[in-house]
Amino acid sequence: MKLMSGTANQDLSRSIADYLDAPLTASEIERFADGEIFVRIDENVRGEDVFVLQSTSYPANDHLMELLICIDALVRASARRITAVIPYFGYARQDRKTGGRTPISAKLVANLIAKAGADRVLTVDLHAGQIQGFFDIPTDNLFATKVMEDDIRRHYQTDNLLIVSPDVGGVVRARALAKLLDAEIAIVDKRRPKAGVAEVMNIIGEVEGRRCILFDDMCDSGGTLVNAADALLEKGAVEVSAYVTHGVLSNDAQGRIAKSKLRELVVTDSIVPPPGSTETPKVRRLSVAPLLGEAIRRIANDESVSKLFD
């Protein structure tokens, strides 16, 4: 087994390598003056089981292209099996046609990864579970729910806890966490007037006197979480925190979170903080390196990955 890291999230790659007690494969990834990407693998990978570690986060197109070129380099170096480990799968929000003459970009990206030569994909908390079906190769979608549960138990009293889905589409995800914590759930019913703008309309569930935890797969601009926290507090919640797997945190989202009524926002390290973002103590990060590392070990040893969540 060999681990190869792209440049999207090298800290996470090193943490995974430390968990597995395996060095990262020596490689060079460079960019020409016009932005073209060049990859060279500096050690023999012939006949090896290689895991390429690369999130397709900001800048999404650069990191996606880098992943494809890494896969192509491994194919041409005669690697036996190539697994694309994508902690954050970009373009996942474009999983269906939202109107006439619009693309299904998540399917396009899935085709690109398979066509480049990947034999398998490993990712964390896809925005929509059905995206697994967009791939024509085996795809494992890991859940960060257990990581979140452990952290919540360490930092919160669970006897008065309410897990809140920030939209109707996240109910299944919220229910899974609530079941682990033996807690009840509530739902934020919202209307989105236009892309990137969320308006909270109603709260479904009894929140008065409860400590609320908003639970979602990603936070982009932070507007949904901030508006939901305001609405929950207006309905009588004692406090509101948020747990999100992928902290995209674009457009000064951290500044927005810092000024909000949220107690804290907890995200994983699937994405590095975007360049120029202002760090705030209200945003705390958990590592998914042990989760990904254990899944990689199981895949390499042909063991069950689903047993991680039994």
Catalytic residues: 190
d(CA 180, CA 226): 25
Encoded amino acid at 145, one letter: T
- Please state the separation of Cα 226 from the chain's center in Å: 20
**CA within 13 Å, CB half, 274:** 19
CB 235 within 8 A of CB 202: no
1: CB partners within 8 A, 6+ apart: 20, 22, 48, 49, 50, 51, 296, 300
d(CA 136, CA 107): 10
d(CA 221, CA 256): 8
User: In which element (H, E) is residue 40 found?
Assistant: strand 37-41
